Structure 1
Amino acid sequence: MSLRKLGTKFLVVWSLVALGGCSHLSAKPLPPADSTTAEDPYLWLEEISSEKSLSAVRAWNQRTESALEARPLYPELTKEVSAIVLAKDRLPLIQLQEGLAYNFWQDEKSKRGLWRRTSLAEYQKETPAWELLLDVDELAKKENENWVWHGANCLPAPATRCLVHLSRGGSDAAVVREFDLATRDFVPQGFLVPEAKSEVGWYDENHLLIGTDWGADTLTTSGYPRQVRLWTRGQDLSQAKLLMEADKQDMKILGYSVFSPEGTKRFVYREKSFFSGELHALEPGDEPRLTKLPLPEDFQTQTSFDHWLLGSTLKDWTMNGKTYKAGSLLRVDLDHMNEPPTLLFEPTSRQALGRVIRTKSRLLVTIQDNVLTHLYSLDPKAAQWKLTPTRTPRDGVLSTQATPFMEESLVTVNTFLQPSTLLLLEHVGAEPVPIKRAPERFRANGLVSEQLEATSTDGTKIPYFVVHKKDMPLDGSNPTVLYGYGGFMLSQQPSYLGVPGKTWLERGGVFVIANIRGGGEFGPEWHRAALRENRQQSFDDFASVARDLITRKITSPRHLGIQGGSNGGLLVGTTFTQHPELFNAVVCQVPLLDMMRYHHLLAGASWMEEYGNPDDPKLRPSIRAYSPYQNLKKGVKYPEVFFTTSTKDDRVHPGHARKMAARMEEQGHPFFYYENIEGGHGGVANLEQRIKMSSLIWTYFDLQLR
């Protein structure tokens, strides 16, 4: 894994869940039907923008809107959600860069958003003065485009150039344009990458490392670039110099630079599959030279410091007779690659390595311990590198931010019931100073959170968090929402429940997060336990948590609902088809549901390391056994499911949700369905759409579970 990919492969939030990897949204011919889909009457719903497909979508949308928006609670929830989402006193999240704090801000007036910056000192004031860099609303109006901000990648100072990513309608495919921070405008005749699923990074101020769609045979089967090229300023994009080409069956290839005070390192990463690949050092010159680094293909690079590379492996690594446990933090000497790595941290069975980032002179390491997070530091100049605990809270989840060009770092503290607090560490080892605290959005008095355990089908203990009122009666009457993900080694950890707190907890609802296998709560083995032919284990874990909630009389099937998106949409889709008797509500968001065809749809081919290949005779039966679309049955009483998706989702094909809804309609099962025309894989493109989606979901849960 490349340095720059860490922490960006996924985005996971309570009601908007993203799955890494996608291809362009353009309507392509449908792939040939296999033996399972030859009789599928709903293949036409995979035609993303056909009038026939959109006509069905509009009818389902209208039916759902009419039913839920007519509920007396809907306008009340809309008002409450709006007050939170549009609040002017929201905590402005920032990115640090050379003493400056960059922020992207949206509100009622600036729906598409403002890209702005200020000094770190100014940011600490109650009302900072911001320097406006780009008004996306104004740009969209001027250019008559439906621009959605997708971030910026800037060169370190004193350079002033950035690469700004803009999406049409929220899809992952984006246009990349060069921006000058000094003039606060796009660079005339500057770098411009047409709309595509591109991988673009700076080589230096006059060159880019770029992978994009150059036409025939330049994309992998996952829809990502399979070529990385060096593009010189002023050169036609088609003439960019080819550096390396991946196989068509690889996931993708990308080039990137790591800038630091010690100098610049450049790499090319050939990503063979979601969790494996080859890392190549790129040495500059008239003829740039690539050298493959002798690392295991499952080595997950986190950061670098001087000539050291830090990361971990997903499986045990044996070198020179010594075995390093999977998930351990290792230090590799880039100048002496044949020497064995140095072990810096080895997790226990209930721990997992989190993030490793660097400041100008130190390294910061987060470690998950029974799902919660602790922060440690490392001194790279010391003779012996030793993890030293920092003086930060140890009862929540900590996330860190730093840059190699600053001693200061930021730590965000999260719990379910206390608003996020932002701490400043002026240098590693300093007393953390609270500089920002998000306002309270709901009444937390009388609420508690606790961590419980369920026993899964194989005897494994599955932890889960429950948030509820202290005086909650244990009589099975409590309306309860159980959230899960369970995939791609992503951990589900506490985070402030702003909207659910106001709309659900204040009204006596219970909120639950399950830490099932497939996630990364306890490292690579926790993830590996639910891979491919073992995927059913993730679903069994989730159902076991549901049963435990019922056994403890926290809730009952009449009052229990489940929610998940993306891979979590597959989770809840499978769980309700296998155990319809356990639930009375299901929110299934941007889901995978037809697992016999997922690898033919958009980025599906990139997830075969996770789910397996349905065309493999050895794996096909296990996938077929749980695939929700194939296992829906007429005559079974299912919960009245609420499917949500986005026409602009170019990661998980909206055809999954569409086809499942059509089959439920055919079999006479009632359901709700809402497809946002914009929004990409997050489901929404702006704050107004987020407000509507949240209001619909919590109105639905109230209708079904009270």
Structure 2
Amino acid sequence: MHSRKGIWFMRKSTITLLALLAAACATAPSTKPSQRIPPPPQTEVRPRAETLHEVDITDPYAWLENQTAPEVRDWIAKQNAYTDQLLGTRPEIKQFVPRLTALMSTDQFDFPTYRNGRYFYKRRAAGQDLYSIYVRDSVNGPDQLLIDPAPMSTSHTISVDIADVSNDGSLLAYSVRQGGADEFEVRFFDVKQKKTIGQPLPEARYQSVNFLTLDKAGLFFTRMTRDGMRLFYRDVAGGGETMLFGDKLTADKILFSSLSPDGRYLLIHIFHGSAPKKTEIYVEDLSDADPVATVVNDLDARSVAFLAGKKLVIQTNWNAPNERIMITDIEHPQRTNWRELVPENKNAAIQGTTVAGGRVYVRYLENVQPRITGYDLDGHEQDTIRFDTYGNLEDMQGSFEEPVAFLRFSSIHVPPTVYQYDVAKGERTMFAQQNAPVNANDFVVEQVFYPSKDGTRVPMFMLYKKGLQKNGTNPTYLGGYGGFLQSQLPTFSPRAVVFAEKGGIYAVANLRGGGEYGEAWHRAGMLDKKQNTFDDFAAAAEYLIRERYTSSEHLAVAGGSNGGLLVAAFATQHPDLASAVICRFPLIDMLRYHKYLVGSFWVPEYGNPDNEADFKWIYPYSPYQHVTKGTKYPAMLFISGDSDTRVAPLHARKMTAMMQAANASDNPIMLRYHVSSGHSGGEPLHEQVHNQAEELAFLWWRLK
């Protein structure tokens, strides 16, 4: 790359290159026995040159972007064969499969949807590959199977999910998804007659589906079109669609809707990207012909509204970085009529809000420990739900008019339990529990805090077996995410349990960019502050080494999606700090990420490299442009697949080729490319077990 303008980029590029070369030269020699690793397949160089803001950029592997080209399919096949050669026959795979199977092949339940005394939920019975949809007529009633996806595909790569249930519990809308794609078809089912009805909605990217069952069964839904998301109405029976809202929305906006139980009010949200700085909210009274009423559209703030009888409850970060709760009459929803219901808590960040049983339930994180507090519509505190164990207490699920709600708790070593919560009594009873064979008393879950590069105090959770010695030789798995306001809590993980049972340490760092400490924490790791996220992650690795939990030789890092960007940046900025990297479904070429699939949704988080100001902070960390030939990189396992229709698989393909060509170490650079996997899953249970066993085998091979 060459800059024609000033010295800023010349200086920055030179510093980055020298730092990487210095890191490569300073890499300590491995004490492991030398292993003969066959060279990877050769990838042809076909340079594509472009100039961004007077900076010349050459992409040697741009031709790998064309996913359907025969030459790219041939390249993928060769890469999978290479990974099979190195990893597919590792003896560790067979060691991990039985234990993972025991932990994962158990009876598992998702959150129920409660409608008119009935409980609709997904369940994967022990030994089954896929989740099916069931109903109970009472909380302890028998499970009645409604939709079984197993016969839909011999490969068991078609999955189903609940899209909506009519308020009287008579109709089910469910999604049918091919592989791990974000797109799905919506079908309809008569619960009483146990048969499919109506005309399905065709396969597309839907953001919301809402039943309307007054005079006849119909539905509102938001769907991505060529020009952007739009709100439609259609009868369940079929016929023409009516576009109701969003005709001027561009493709970078996210549109979704919800409907009041009486079918009168339609609540509409517009997000200006994922984890946006700005949202718009409107409400439509379907009983009159008046235009939609504006709740808010003039604030650079993120707000989400919930229907609560004749009120709107609004969670917002407007003048409240840790967020607060506002309330207003639904017939007069304008911001001038809002009043504060629950003020901002300076010590605890709001993570989510639910209206259930006539109350407002707010989920907080305080020092990354969750609790849920209930308030009446006058803002008086009514009840609080918390658990003593470090873990993940998820948002309540319920509706304002129904007397019960549902919550789920797990810890990294404690399988999840779904509870029914009686709002009036303040009592919770078990609805379903995953009985995975793990003894929580065998483990320690520890929360630590460590200083980042700039002195910021960053939390991290660790799981390991009791009696572990801090001797610097423990195999250690370090994960993180650090983006889009997503908080990383210690949620049950069979992978973590197996890794710890074998004597390893499983760590998750709570990086800036997430939501652990509210919007200020988020903004400290986005846009021009994104490097803070990478610095926090590197500091976590350095802490684990400094405190003798592990050493560079025994440390691995792993992440997916935005976390894939994280570990790719880690590998290019600190190639000597870990021995192995797992990079799943990653964003990597940050100069072009916004051009593919739904990448425009993420511009508020990363910035737009087509803008010169944004380019100046994106370019210095974009991993694809900072792979340096002759550097000794750690062992790398990239994972992606055709069915990822959210993060384009081209990122993993190009980065694999780039690192294979540049790597000067004996460590393997591999790509595991799945045909059916994607951001939305797509793998039947037996494949999930195998793939996790393969990842663990890779780590054990490189860390022990």
TM-score interval, normalised by the smaller of the two chains: 0.7 to 0.9
Report the CA distance between 1:633 and its aligned residue.
0.6
CA distances 1:594-624 after superposition (whole Å, capped 9, x unpaired): 0000001111111000000011101102111
Retained in 1: the 8 A contact 2:128–2:685? no
Report the CA distance between 1:439 and its aligned residue.
2.4
Map of 1:537-548 to 2, 5 A cutoff? 537-548=532-543
1:379 aligns with 2:343: no
Report the CA distance between 1:249 and its aligned residue.
4.9
Deviant stretches of 4+, over 6 Å: none
Report the CA distance between 1:377 and its aligned residue.
1.2
What is the distance in 2 between the residues matched to 1:233 and 1:421?
Answer: 35
CA distances 1:404-440 after superposition (whole Å, capped 9, x unpaired): 3431223322222333333332234434334544324
> Aligned residue for 2:658?
663
1:201 aligns with 2:198: no
What is the distance in 1 between the residues matched to 2:476 and 2:425?
Answer: 42
SS of corresponding position for 2:601: helix
> Aligned residue for 2:113?
95
> Aligned residue for 1:357?
354
Report the CA distance between 1:630 and its aligned residue.
0.6
Amino acid of the structure 2 residue aligned with 1:420:
P
1:70 aligns with 2:89: yes
What is the distance in 1 between the residues matched to 2:636 and 2:139?
Answer: 49
Deviates more, 1:48-57 or 1:132-141: 132-141
Retained in 1: the 8 A contact 2:322–2:350? no
What is the distance in 1 between the residues matched to 2:418 and 2:219?
Answer: 34
> Aligned residue for 1:12?
none
CA distances 1:93-121 after superposition (whole Å, capped 9, x unpaired): 53333332223233576534422111343
Map of 1:423-442 to 2, 5 A cutoff? 423-434=419-430, 436-442=432-438
TM-score where L is the length of structure 1:
0.85
**RMSD of aligned Cα (Å):** 2.6
Deviates more, 1:541-550 or 1:39-48: 39-48
1:644 to 601, 619, 639: 639
Retained in 1: the 8 A contact 2:569–2:623? yes
What is the distance in 2 between the residues matched to 1:605 and 1:92?
Answer: 31
Map of 1:177-576 to 2, 5 A cutoff? 177-187=187-197, 190-202=198-210, 204-205=212-213, 206-212=217-223, 218-220=225-227, 224-225=228-229, 227-232=230-235, 236-237=239-240, 240-259=242-261, 264-274=264-274, 275=276, 276-285=278-287, 287=289, 289-294=291-296, 296=299, 298-316=301-319, 324=320, 326-336=322-332, 337=334, 338-348=336-346, 350-380=347-377, 384-390=378-384, 392-396=386-390, 397-399=392-394, 400-434=396-430, 436-501=432-497, 503-576=498-571
Report the CA distance between 1:696 and its aligned residue.
0.8
CA distances 1:338-381 after superposition (whole Å, capped 9, x unpaired): 23421413122x4211222122322222211111111211123x
Retained in 2: the 8 A contact 1:69–1:75? no
Report the CA distance between 1:452 and its aligned residue.
0.7
Retained in 2: the 8 A contact 1:442–1:506? no
> Are residues 526 and 92 of structure 1, via their aligned partners in 2, closer, same or farther at CA, if it must alter by over 3 Å?
closer
Retained in 2: the 8 A contact 1:246–1:252? no
CA distances 1:162-184 after superposition (whole Å, capped 9, x unpaired): 32211222311111222221222
TM-score where L is the length of structure 2:
0.85
Amino acid of the structure 1 residue aligned with 2:369:
L
What is the distance in 1 between the residues matched to 2:680 and 2:234?
Answer: 31
> Aligned residue for 1:170?
180
What is the distance in 2 between the residues matched to 1:34 and 1:162?
Answer: 52
What is the distance in 2 between the residues matched to 1:194 and 1:539?
Answer: 41
What is the distance in 1 between the residues matched to 2:207 and 2:285?
Answer: 19
What is the distance in 1 between the residues matched to 2:397 and 2:268?
Answer: 24
Retained in 2: the 8 A contact 1:203–1:266? no
Report the CA distance between 1:145 and its aligned residue.
10
Retained in 2: the 8 A contact 1:145–1:168? no
- Residue ranges of structure 2 left out of the alignment (5+ in a row): 1-47
Deviates more, 1:463-472 or 1:545-554: 463-472
What is the distance in 1 between the residues matched to 2:410 and 2:236?
Answer: 44
Report the CA distance between 1:243 and its aligned residue.
3.5
Report the CA distance between 1:537 and its aligned residue.
0.6
What is the distance in 1 between the residues matched to 2:242 and 2:344?
Answer: 44
> Are residues 437 and 200 of structure 1, via their aligned partners in 2, closer, same or farther at CA, if it must alter by over 3 Å?
closer
1:585 aligns with 2:588: no
> Aligned residue for 1:155?
166
1:137 to 150, 153, 169: 150
- Residue ranges of structure 1 left out of the alignment (5+ in a row): 1-30, 124-128, 317-323
> Aligned residue for 2:101?
82
Percent same amino acid at aligned positions? Answer: 26
SS of corresponding position for 1:605: helix
What is the distance in 1 between the residues matched to 2:204 and 2:81?
Answer: 32
> Aligned residue for 2:693?
695
1:624 to 607, 619, 622: 619
Retained in 1: the 8 A contact 2:179–2:682? no
What is the distance in 1 between the residues matched to 2:237 and 2:440?
Answer: 58
CA distances 1:526-554 after superposition (whole Å, capped 9, x unpaired): 00111111110110111111111111111
Amino acid of the structure 1 residue aligned with 2:479:
Y
